Chains A and B, each alone.
Chain A
Amino acid sequence: QVQLQESGPGLVKPSQTLSLTCTVSGGSISSGGYYWSWIRQHPGKGLEWIGYISYSGSTYYNPSLKSRVTISVDTSKNQFSLKLSSVTAADTAVYYCARERVTTDGSFDYWGQGTLVTVSS
């Protein structure tokens, strides 16, 4: 059973960089057929896809966030990470990591539990 777990600071100051890591267990991040994604949910709101990365390091970002987002992968640790720069209060959200079945139906089949990141001084 694949499991994903987000980790990182729950509080970030405005203008700083939000950094989160997702650790994958129960399966290899290097297995083909999947992209490893970050998705966020503003409090009481819907879901916004941030971006994803393949095990080989190919990245795709939401154009609305592209200038501020970097996603990287560490296959040796079975982890992938998110960096979001120049954060404001509008970036306060629950951040999820998830696995996308990119070669079949484009669904996100496994999700982390989510981590709330608050942007505040």
Chain B
Amino acid sequence: DIQMTQSPSSVSASVGDRVTITCRASQGISRWLTWYQQKPGKAPKLLIYAASSLQSGVPSRFSGSGSGTDFTLSISSLQPEDFATYYCQQANSFPPTFGGGTKVEIK
């Protein structure tokens, strides 16, 4: 299985801050990388697919980049509703696997 490693595991930030989360794959996955946002007690929500494509309805302050093994999710100006846990997922190889998550907390 491809291992997905996210860093940091948690980050404290203030409203208006720029936040960057990293996801590293144990082997190359081209651009088969998706980012999700999950709030407590809720299902994950698709944010970014194919490494950098914004899902319909997702605010443009979210962006993704990367290819191969290294990927980033950026939130340009953190909003109150963005405090959540973020997961990456690879779809390059069977089985699909997820990162361990990054919790974005209020500073």
CB contacts (< 8 Å) of A112 on chain B: these are 43
16 additional contacts (CB under 8 A) given A46-B98, A47-B89, A108-B46: A46-B99, A47-B87, A49-B95, A62-B95, A63-B95, A98-B43, A105-B49, A106-B91, A106-B92, A106-B96, A107-B34, A109-B55, A111-B43, A112-B43, A113-B42, A114-B43
Once A108-B46, A114-B43 are accepted as A-B contacts, the answer to whether A49 and B34 lie under 8 Å apart by CB is no
A contacts, CB < 8 Å to B: 46-49, 60, 62-63, 96, 98, 100-101, 104-109, 111-114
Q: In the complex, are the beta carbons of B96 and A105 less than 8 A apart?
A: no
CB distance from B13 to the nearest CB of A (A): 21
Once A47-B98, A49-B96, A60-B94 are accepted as A-B contacts, the answer to whether A107 and B89 lie under 8 Å apart by CB is yes
Interface residues on B, range: 20 to 34
CB distance from B91 to the nearest CB of A (A): 2
CB distance from A23 to the nearest CB of B (A): 15
CB distance from B29 to the nearest CB of A (A): 10
User: Would you give the 0/1 interface string for B72-101, flagging 1 where the beta carbon is closer than 8 Å to chain A?
Assistant: 000000000000000101011011111111
Q: Report Cα–Cα, A49/B95, bound state, in Å.
A: 8
Shortest Cβ distance from B34 into A: residue: A107
The 23 listed contacts between A and B (C-beta, < 8 Å) are A46-B87, A46-B98, A49-B98, A63-B1, A96-B43, A96-B44, A105-B49, A105-B50, A105-B53, A106-B34, A106-B91, A106-B96, A107-B46, A107-B49, A107-B55, A107-B91, A108-B36, A108-B46, A108-B89, A109-B55, A111-B45, A114-B42, A114-B43
CB contacts (< 8 Å) of A98 on chain B: these are 43
Q: Report Cα–Cα, A114/B40, bound state, in Å.
A: 12
CB contacts (< 8 Å) of B44 on chain A: these are 47, 96, 108, 111
